Amino acid sequence: MARFVRWYGAGPLHLLVLVCSFALTAYAFVRLFAVRPVDVAIWFVGAAILHDLILLPLYSLADLSAHSVLRHRTERVPTVPWINYLRVPTFLSGVLLLVWFPLILDLAVPYGGDTRLPESVYLGRWLAITGVLFGASALAFALRLGGIRRAARAAEAGPPSGRDAEP
Amino acid sequence: MGSGGRSASGSSGGPQGPKRDQEPARRRLPRLGAASAAAIHAIASAGDAAAARAQAIARRVGRTPPPPGPFRPGFWRSPIRGPWLTSVFGLVLLVGIPVLFVTGALSYAAYNPDLGPLNDQTPDKGLLGFYLFDWPTQPYWLYRLTQGVHVTLGVVLVPVLLAKLWAVIPKLFEWLPVRSVAHGLERLSLLLLVGGVIFEFVTGILNIQLYYVFPGSFYTLHFYGAWVFIAAFIVHVCLKLGRMTRALGSRDLATELRTDLAHTVPEPPDPHGLVPTAPAAPTMTRRGALGLVGAGSLTLLVVTAGQSVGGLLRGTALLAPHNRDPGSGPNGFQINKTAAAVGVSPAHVGPSWRLEVRGRSPALVFTRAQLLALRQHAAALPIACVEGWSTPDQLWSGLRLTDLAAMAGLPGAGSVLVESVQPPGPYSSVVLRGNQIHDPRSLLALRVNGADLSLDHGFPARVIVPANPGVNNTKWVHRLTFRT
């Protein structure tokens, strides 16, 4: 037993569960790959690669770039952490596009003929939603910024006590 | 999402990097040493020289420093990434994915694939159809509910899935890539898990938008893909459930929801490499990360769910495929496929159209006027599509299928083959089961909401059966063949 664990790297139950799972996987795989096996394999593995090695690095990089490119350059004016006012609308608009891009980009060829509904409305709607999200975020940011700067000015004018408001 | 997913090569992570990197490698050495010792023990009985060489190789491999970039522990810097946050997303998926799987399996059963090749898109399913049962006709909204949940929940879980994958991304680059046989097998299973879950979400989400770019029949891909995925999912749950519950217990949700940015600190170092060794300054609280993902799900829910609820809410499904009515009046409700789209022309259903009813007695032939002269029955039933959208109840009227079976000399008919004038193609004909024939609400409908059926809704006659998937409610019917 201890020898098995040393050789295998985990307990026998671990192996048993995995073998059971692989048996089921193989049974389904044979059927999944019955037609156009290469294309299906590309889709299956490509799905993981597309997310892990393309989508995730891209949005991480976008986030980091936003941080360094748009960072606040003047020290004189008090500011507030701003990145989330950019992240939130970008993320919300982005997941909408990620899920509904075939309709938004007018890619679903049979859509209009099948359903008797025009597909052309989606791009405008997505842009409108995106506009509202960014607009609301900008407004929230402006209000927050205004509040903080007013407080800072008041503190400067009054007794020198409250400049520690910033996190 | 979260804060600063990766470090730019400069900044604070760089200079200290190498020193930090050696520590985890050293920590792993005992385990690896144990594995190699075991290997050596086994080989020793065969030959000493080979054993010594294997030992040397194992030692050298174990000492290989991680290549630069994402394989270095210092590369991943988000201060909120860690077992607790991962487990919260994991818990949501642990509830959501089984619901998706069960509703998906129910939808598969709803097509009654065991009634023969016409209903069966996956004839080589073998054991994977082990659970099939006679799909019921009540409650009449059953398929509307299960498939609405399946599709809407799938869409709503997309942000949670993205968040979960983000939370565990350092594990993709763990070093060494394979530490033992067990570790290697588990990582293979993880490829099936991640490939499988994305494959299922992508095929499903593309299919509901009629964007048929995937390689083959949707039914085949989504059904077998689901089994591949669920096999890996069950293993993953078995192996990680304990770790998840421990991680969830390590922090208090209510406290996290009250913690502001100034008090957001990384979780204590974990042996699995999720917590960053060189955390960046926090830019988002855990509360913020959970809120962001929740807001993503909520937004998707708002712009999607209305197509399955119908009524006034249909208009709120701003981005969903069936978010508007294609017309007004009695026939103004959702159309799955128009007559033109499947090649049914007015000539097919003009004055020369006849309904043929076959059974035990010689075939009966009716004109539409003759059918309208028979006793009419009404039923309020929805149309519910596999794509998740549905209509509220429509008031159909026409002939009961059970009456037609009796006229054909088979009052106890066990099944009926329904054929459309539609040119041969998927779902141009379908088989219904005895329980569907004999439900008093199952109709060969001639009219809807007080008007004749429109061509797009199946004029001159269509089938409507409670809880039946939309495509099995055949339109433009011209022959019914009842069988014992």
Domain parsing of chain B, residue ranges: 29-74, 76-307, 339-483
* Residue B124 to residue A34, Cβ atoms within 8 A: yes
Residue of A nearest to B290 (CA): A88
- Give dist(CA B444, CA B377) in Å, integer: 10
Q: What is the pLDDT of residue B406?
A: 96
Q: What is the pLDDT of residue A78?
A: 63
Measure CA of the first residue to CA of the last residue in chain B; give whole Å.
60
- Print the SS3 string covering B112-146: CHHHCCCCCCCCCCHHHHCCCCCCCCCCCCHHHHH
pLDDT(A4) > 50: yes
A150: closest CA of chain B, how far (Å)? 22
Give the distance, in angstroms, between the CA of residue B462 and the centroid of all CA atoms in the same chain: 30
- Give dist(CA B448, CA B394) in Å, integer: 7
Give the bridge partners for B381, in sequence order: B394
Residue of B nearest to A83 (CA): B283
- Give dist(CA B226, CA B329) in Å, integer: 40
pLDDT, tens digit (0-9, with 9 covering 90-100), for B227-245? 999 999 999 999 999 999 9
B183 touches chain A (CB under 8 A): yes
Q: What is the pLDDT of residue B6?
A: 40
- Give dist(CA B205, CA B161) in Å, integer: 14
* Residue A48 to residue B292, Cβ atoms within 8 A: no
Under the banding of pLDDT at 50, 70 and 90, the label for residue A11 is very high
Under the banding of pLDDT at 50, 70 and 90, the label for residue A80 is confident
- Identify the CATH assignment for B339-483 out of 3.40.50.11720, 3.90.420.10, 2.40.33.20, 3.30.460.10: 3.90.420.10
B63-67, B264-268, B283-287, B294-298: least confidently modelled range: B63-67
Q: What is the pLDDT of residue B52?
A: 72
- Give dist(CA A49, CA B191) in Å, integer: 10
pLDDT(A162) > 80: no
B238 touches chain A (CB under 8 A): yes
> Would you call B50 helix, strand, or coil by DSSP?
helix
- Give dist(CA B120, CA B108) in Å, integer: 9
- Considering only residues 102 to 121 of chain A, which have any Cβ-Cβ distance to chain B shorter than 8 Å? 102-104, 107-111, 113-117, 121
pLDDT(B483) > 80: yes
Alpha helix (H) ranges present in A9-165? 12-32, 37-49, 56-69, 83-104, 111-115, 121-157
Give me the percent of chain B exceeding a pLDDT of 70. 89
> Would you call B461 helix, strand, or coil by DSSP?
coil
B87: closest CA of chain A, how far (Å)? 19
CB B196 within 8 A of CB A29: no
CA B417, B420, B426, B432 dihedral sign is negative
Find the CB nearest A8 among B180, B209, B318. Answer: B180
pLDDT, tens digit (0-9, with 9 covering 90-100), for B324-372? 999 999 999 999 999 999 999 999 999 999 999 999 989 999 999 999 9
- Give dist(CA B26, CA A27) in Å, integer: 41
> Scanning the structure block, which residue is given the tokens 């998937």?
B469
- Please state the φ and ψ torsions of residue B81, each to the nearest 5 degrees: -70, 135
CB B313 within 8 A of CB B392: no
Under the banding of pLDDT at 50, 70 and 90, the label for residue B32 is very low
- Give dist(CA B464, CA B456) in Å, integer: 14
- Considering only residues 277 to 316 of chain B, which have any Cβ-Cβ distance to chain A shorter than 8 Å? 283-284, 288, 292, 295-296, 299-300, 303
pLDDT, tens digit (0-9, with 9 covering 90-100), for B383-442? 999 999 999 999 999 999 999 999 999 999 999 999 999 998 888 999 999 999 999 999
CB contacts < 8 A (A, B): 236
Average pLDDT over all residues of chain B = 90
Under the banding of pLDDT at 50, 70 and 90, the label for residue B474 is very high
Chain A environment of B5 (Cβ under 8 Å): 56, 59-60, 63-64
- Give dist(CA B299, CA B282) in Å, integer: 26
- Give dist(CA B9, CA B168) in Å, integer: 21
pLDDT(B80) > 60: yes
pLDDT(B144) > 50: yes
Prediction ipTM score: 0.91
Under the banding of pLDDT at 50, 70 and 90, the label for residue A69 is confident
Identify the burial level of B268 via C-beta atoms within 10 angstroms of its C-beta, where 0-12 means exposed, 13-18 middle and 19 or more buried.
Answer: exposed
B42-56, B120-134, B310-324, B406-420: least confidently modelled range: B42-56
What's the DSSP call for residue B464?
A: E
Strand pairing class (B477-483; B462-464): unpaired
Q: What is the pLDDT of residue B51?
A: 60
Q: What is the pLDDT of residue B16?
A: 37
* Residue B165 to residue A104, Cβ atoms within 8 A: no
Tokens at B255, concatenated: 């406290």
Chain B environment of A165 (Cβ under 8 Å): none
pLDDT(B147) > 60: yes
- Please state the φ and ψ torsions of residue B357, each to the nearest 5 degrees: -115, 120
Higher pLDDT, B21 or B130: B130
Give me the percent of chain B exceeding a pLDDT of 90. 82
Give me Rg for the CA atoms of chain A. Answer: 27
- Give dist(CA B242, CA B224) in Å, integer: 29
H or E stretch at B431: strand B429-433
Tokens at A91, concatenated: 């993320």
pLDDT, tens digit (0-9, with 9 covering 90-100), for B165-191? 999 999 999 988 999 999 999 999 999
- Give dist(CA B136, CA B109) in Å, integer: 10
* Residue B5 to residue A60, Cβ atoms within 8 A: yes
Under the banding of pLDDT at 50, 70 and 90, the label for residue B461 is very high
Residues B81, B151, A22: CA angle, nearest 5 degrees: 65
> Would you call B69 helix, strand, or coil by DSSP?
coil
CB B402 within 8 A of CB B480: no
- Give dist(CA A9, CA A5) in Å, integer: 5
Under the banding of pLDDT at 50, 70 and 90, the label for residue A165 is very low
B317 touches chain A (CB under 8 A): no
Alpha helix (H) ranges present in B396-438? 401-407, 434-438
Q: What is the pLDDT of residue A72?
A: 62
CB B304 within 8 A of CB B156: yes
B456 touches chain A (CB under 8 A): yes
Q: What is the pLDDT of residue A2?
A: 87
CB A43 within 8 A of CB B217: no
Q: In what order do the strands lie in the sheet with B429-433?
A: B364-366, B355-358, B477-483, B415-420, B429-433
Higher pLDDT, A132 or B35: A132
H or E stretch at B445: strand B443-448
Q: How many helices (H) and strands (E) does chain B have?
A: 15, 10
B443: closest CA of chain A, how far (Å)? 24
Please provide the DSSP assignment of A76-99 as one string.
SS-----HHHHHHHHHHHHHHHHH
| Average pLDDT estimate for B109-122 | 94
The residue among B91, B103, B88, B93 whose CA lies nearest residue B152 is B103
Find the CB nearest A63 among B5, B41, B296. Answer: B5
